Structure 1
Amino acid sequence: MIKKTYEDLENENRLLHSIIDVVSDGVYAVSVDGTILICNKAHKKMDGTTHNHVVGKKDVDVYYLELENFQRYTVTKNPEPLLDQYMTYTTITGKKVDIVYNSYPFFQNGTLSAVISIGRDKPSINELLTMALNSFNNKKSNRITNGTLYTLEDIIGNSAEIQKTLKQARKVAQNQSTVMLLGETGTGKELFAQGIHNASAYNSRPFIAVNCAAIPETLMESLMMGTSKGAFSGALDTPGFFEQAENGTLFLDEINSLSISLQAKLLRLLQDKTVRRLGDNKERKISCRIISATNQDLFIMARNGAFREDLLYRLTPIILDIPPLRERAEDIPMLAKEFVSRFNDQLAMNIKLIAQDLLQLFLSYRWPGNIRELEHVIESAMSMTESTEAILSNEHLPRILKKRLMSDQETTGLSNMEATANKPLPELVRQYEKQTIENALILNNGNVSQCAIQLGITRQNLHYHLRRLGINSVLYKAQSISDTTSSPLP
């Protein structure tokens, strides 16, 4: 009888945990001393954390927040429900979260023992509102897959540069203005375009992506405008890209590849907001948002007559500049670990650590191919490792790649020497000191204590230098490979 009761309790406990995990709201419970007891899947997704980051840890070690702002602290002082509260905090992974939550005291034998919080972050609230609006307009049954894979939350990076770009992208997503994405090859322009679409109120509508460089000019006009049956041999009634993106987003990648004649047709279409299919005499109204992207300077192209100036101004009311990887080097460890985690799954490997010699090589390389190149380098290196190996080092790099990375390191060193030749000594000392501390923080994932040991100074002394040089150690925290989850990257 006792055994049966124990089994019943165990089954009930598993059932309750399963129910909590499938709830779409974030559910979080913490003891009065700050130990995190429960954190469901929705909450971990919202925070960008894993089970190992959270459960069993102290809340002050997981969330960067003043003690008096913790729900646990407020409810412990006054054991009453805390309803409809708004809060912004940063997690141990460096993700900033805006949340609306309710918190409730939990008593055992008349004594307060825990605090339970249930909440939603801003993106999920916006998604819920969008779904409610679609349902109200009786369009829910007609919703289709919008053709995207990524959201802005999928973009990895704690650097000030990428966070600033993400903030701008979220703001841009709230209106229907035409957007131009500027960025070098491999920086993730299409990922940003999809993210902007999915952060907008029109995320249930189609996202149509067109690579202007991949489609021959002879086909581009018919694909863009659409065709009418009989327009030419074999032609059918087919909507063009603009019609397919109705009330959604049309993404024109590598728009600098369009010929002058096609640029003229595109300009006319944007001005009139109508399209006439090839072989048809009927004008059709179009209503879609245009996001375009280029890795070239269109203003220089326009000056040289290679791009229409009037079209350029139509396409650039909003310009979003996506930083290259060399300008956000502190993101390299996090990105590298994410790629290693992904290829661990794809290649059936078990790499648990990136050696410091390889990471240092990554940090000193300029990455002309940006994040896409980093991904390919890691894939090449992991393809050379044995399935029993747990550490990825520069010995695993193919010889041609190692030579390329190390050659760039030497060239960069000479360029830096020339660039700093005329700078005053105090400025050079400060620059070298800041770079040395930042590199140490990167190699130690933002752990100040380990960084101080590596630099041979006390922790207090390092904190002094961090304040003096304006360095925020939180931005250098990255997940261990075992804790990273496979997710899209910029």
Structure 2
Amino acid sequence: MVKKTYEELESENRLLHAMFDVVSDGAYAVSVDGTVLFYNKAFEKMEGTTRSQMVGKKDFDVYPGFENFQRHVVCKNPEPLRDQHMTYTSISGKKVDIVYNSYPFFQDGKLSAVISIGRDKPSINELVTMVLNSFNSKKSNRVTNGTIYTLEDIIGSSTVIRQTLKQARKMAQSQSTVMLVGETGTGKELFAQGIHNASPYKSRPFIAVNCAAIPETLMESLMMGTVKGAFSGALDTPGFFEQAENGTLFLDEINSLSISLQAKLLRLLQDKKIRRLGDNKERKISCRIISATNQDLFALAKSGLFREDLLYRLTPVIADIPPLRERLEDIPLLAREFVDRFNDELALNIKIISQDLMQLFLYYRWPGNVRELEHIIESAMSLAENTETILSREHLPRMLKKRLMSDQTKSGSSDSEAGANKSLAELLRQYEKETIENALILKNGNVSQCAIQLGITRQNLHYHLRRHGIKAVLYKAQSVGDATDSPVP
């Protein structure tokens, strides 16, 4: 083995010194007799000194008053010394608060030096603050008020969803009680969280209660709270209203509350006071109420299943969340969002949603709305291979494929039956629309090729598309992660 030349060793030494000078931690080395061998720029900054003041000097000269140098401890027991804290005054008169690790250095089997790596506590605090700020700014799902979503997380470009979001932002700025009305799976809790996070209450708690999931026998104690001794095993526990103090209480499926609980809720909303079970004193409450229902509360009130006086207390402001079948333009956006999510969760690489599968999505009525779309995509992707890049209808389980295709069959039958009652003009208009849609399907949404197929000009086809309210973009095979389609801002 050829020994290194002096020049090579000198070059290597300069490289090592340069490396230690660019790191943010202070690096310091001292021989067993106390001679300072190395002292990097980070330590200069930390202690307010210069290398020339330190290197070659004895540690007891440059750190006067020290009684227990780390080299003493390591020399006595040559083992690493970790996570040590020390406060001292440097030779420049600067107070230093440091956390360090010290390591023995052996040469030819003999302890020859002690190396210490440290960082002052102010820089540690800055690092922690920076990491926390970065963490908190990433996304709304890291909000610490009990929520996951903001209104910005609600995906859609359709006119109806944009209008609903606009209304929700206005509702958020008031203190009014809000009723969210929408079918199952439309995202009522997303809107509730979004309204809370766009409101003056956003720094306060968001407490969500599913009224249908809690037995009536427990609901009152959970809503009102309890005091110790109220019943066997009872503790001092605040109820939902107290937990949501100065924040938002979200009562989901409010239509599931029994008439007796409705009466107690009404009294509570009127008095703005609460008395825990077993307590003899009343407590003032102050929180915003957002409730949600998937049924017509006015119809329930008319039939005696919901208190009319409570209904008016809960509905000064009403937000109607549109079903998915009324926002078809959003289906490709939502589908791509779910594919992206399950790509990560299932370690897949799906890049395209095939045109045949997208057509099934567009013709289906979606009784389960956005939640049903999410579950169907998850089910299809769970059957995809990790080498596949296209998600097609062949990935659908047989039961789901039959369910999605049933709407197309029903639609065809009902159209035939209704045809006998339509005028010639209406039948011609329907036939024209279906012919254009079929051409778009064949040409994968390409307007120019579709016009050639139909034997008309591109401008004429655009006229017919506007006339029938057809959007060619919905008939394209959908690429996952298309940057042109993004969540509504």
Under TM normalisation by the shorter chain, which class is it? Answer: 0.5 to 0.7
Alignment partner, residue 33 of structure 2? none
The amino acid of 1:392's aligned partner reads L
CA offset at residue 417 of structure 1? 3.7
Q: How far, CA to CA, are the matches of 2:257 and 2:160 in structure 1? A: 30
1:210 aligns to 2:201 (yes or no): no
Judged with a 3 Å threshold, the aligned counterparts in structure 2 of structure 1 residues 216 and 467 are, in CA distance, closer, same or farther, namely closer
1:380 aligns to 2:360 (yes or no): no
Q: How far, CA to CA, are the matches of 2:442 and 2:371 in structure 1? A: 22
Residues 447 and 458 of structure 2 are in contact (CA less than 8 Å); yes or no, is this contact kept in structure 1?
A: yes
Judged with a 3 Å threshold, the aligned counterparts in structure 2 of structure 1 residues 202 and 303 are, in CA distance, closer, same or farther, namely same
Q: How far, CA to CA, are the matches of 1:223 and 1:180 in structure 2? A: 22
Deviation per residue, 1:192-221 (Å, 9 max, x gap): 111111111221111110000111111110
Residues 205 and 248 of structure 2 are in contact (CA less than 8 Å); yes or no, is this contact kept in structure 1?
A: yes
CA offset at residue 449 of structure 1? 4.8
Alignment partner, residue 263 of structure 1? 262
Q: Unpaired segments of 5 or more residues in structure 2?
A: 1-142
CA offset at residue 255 of structure 1? 0.8
Judged with a 3 Å threshold, the aligned counterparts in structure 2 of structure 1 residues 441 and 219 are, in CA distance, closer, same or farther, namely farther
Alignment partner, residue 326 of structure 2? 327
The amino acid of 2:401's aligned partner reads K
Q: How far, CA to CA, are the matches of 1:250 and 1:445 in structure 2? A: 47
Alignment partner, residue 312 of structure 2? 313
Alignment partner, residue 344 of structure 2? 345
Deviation per residue, 1:316-365 (Å, 9 max, x gap): 11111111111112211111111111111111111111111111111111
Residues 263 and 308 of structure 1 are in contact (CA less than 8 Å); yes or no, is this contact kept in structure 2?
A: yes
Residues 180 and 318 of structure 2 are in contact (CA less than 8 Å); yes or no, is this contact kept in structure 1?
A: yes
Judged with a 3 Å threshold, the aligned counterparts in structure 2 of structure 1 residues 222 and 376 are, in CA distance, closer, same or farther, namely same
SS of the residue corresponding to residue 342 of structure 1 reads: helix
Residues 213 and 257 of structure 1 are in contact (CA less than 8 Å); yes or no, is this contact kept in structure 2?
A: yes
Q: How far, CA to CA, are the matches of 1:187 and 1:315 in structure 2? A: 20
Alignment partner, residue 303 of structure 2? 304
CA offset at residue 230 of structure 1? 1.7
Alignment partner, residue 196 of structure 2? 197
Deviation per residue, 1:275-323 (Å, 9 max, x gap): 1111112111111111111111212221222111111111111111111
Alignment partner, residue 283 of structure 1? 282
CA offset at residue 380 of structure 1? 0.9
Deviation per residue, 1:146-200 (Å, 9 max, x gap): 1111111111111122122112111211111111111111110100111111111
Q: How far, CA to CA, are the matches of 2:206 and 2:157 in structure 1? A: 27
CA offset at residue 480 of structure 1? 3.4
Alignment partner, residue 223 of structure 2? 224
Identity %: 83
Alignment partner, residue 248 of structure 1? 247
Deviation per residue, 1:5-25 (Å, 9 max, x gap): xxxxxxxxxxxxxxxxxxxxx
Judged with a 3 Å threshold, the aligned counterparts in structure 2 of structure 1 residues 473 and 236 are, in CA distance, closer, same or farther, namely same
Judged with a 3 Å threshold, the aligned counterparts in structure 2 of structure 1 residues 288 and 439 are, in CA distance, closer, same or farther, namely farther
The amino acid of 1:303's aligned partner reads K
The amino acid of 2:289's aligned partner reads I
SS of the residue corresponding to residue 482 of structure 1 reads: coil
CA offset at residue 419 of structure 1? 4.7
Alignment partner, residue 171 of structure 1? 170
SS of the residue corresponding to residue 228 of structure 2 reads: coil
Residues 227 and 237 of structure 2 are in contact (CA less than 8 Å); yes or no, is this contact kept in structure 1?
A: yes
Judged with a 3 Å threshold, the aligned counterparts in structure 2 of structure 1 residues 316 and 436 are, in CA distance, closer, same or farther, namely farther
1:294 aligns to 2:293 (yes or no): yes
Residues 366 and 408 of structure 1 are in contact (CA less than 8 Å); yes or no, is this contact kept in structure 2?
A: yes
SS of the residue corresponding to residue 214 of structure 2 reads: coil
Q: How far, CA to CA, are the matches of 2:407 and 2:465 in structure 1? A: 29
Q: How far, CA to CA, are the matches of 2:443 and 2:273 in structure 1? A: 56
- TM-score norm. by structure 1 comes to 0.64
Judged with a 3 Å threshold, the aligned counterparts in structure 2 of structure 1 residues 488 and 470 are, in CA distance, closer, same or farther, namely closer
Residues 186 and 369 of structure 1 are in contact (CA less than 8 Å); yes or no, is this contact kept in structure 2?
A: yes
Deviates more, 1:469-478 or 1:347-356: 469-478
Residues 154 and 487 of structure 1 are in contact (CA less than 8 Å); yes or no, is this contact kept in structure 2?
A: no
Alignment partner, residue 366 of structure 1? 365
Length, aligned pairs only: 346
Q: How far, CA to CA, are the matches of 2:476 and 2:168 in structure 1? A: 23
Alignment partner, residue 336 of structure 1? 335
SS of the residue corresponding to residue 329 of structure 2 reads: helix
Q: How far, CA to CA, are the matches of 1:307 and 1:217 in structure 2? A: 15
- TM-score norm. by structure 2 comes to 0.64
Judged with a 3 Å threshold, the aligned counterparts in structure 2 of structure 1 residues 440 and 240 are, in CA distance, closer, same or farther, namely farther
Residues 342 and 486 of structure 1 are in contact (CA less than 8 Å); yes or no, is this contact kept in structure 2?
A: no
Residues 156 and 330 of structure 2 are in contact (CA less than 8 Å); yes or no, is this contact kept in structure 1?
A: yes
Judged with a 3 Å threshold, the aligned counterparts in structure 2 of structure 1 residues 162 and 432 are, in CA distance, closer, same or farther, namely farther
Q: How far, CA to CA, are the matches of 1:439 and 1:164 in structure 2? A: 31
**Mapping 1:428-439, distance limit 5 Å:** 428-430=427-429, 433=432
The amino acid of 1:253's aligned partner reads D
Alignment partner, residue 150 of structure 1? 149
Alignment partner, residue 458 of structure 1? 457
**Which has more radius of gyration?**
2
SS of the residue corresponding to residue 329 of structure 1 reads: coil
Q: How far, CA to CA, are the matches of 1:202 and 1:420 in structure 2? A: 55
Q: Unpaired segments of 5 or more residues in structure 1?
A: 1-143
SS of the residue corresponding to residue 245 of structure 2 reads: coil
CA offset at residue 385 of structure 1? 1.3
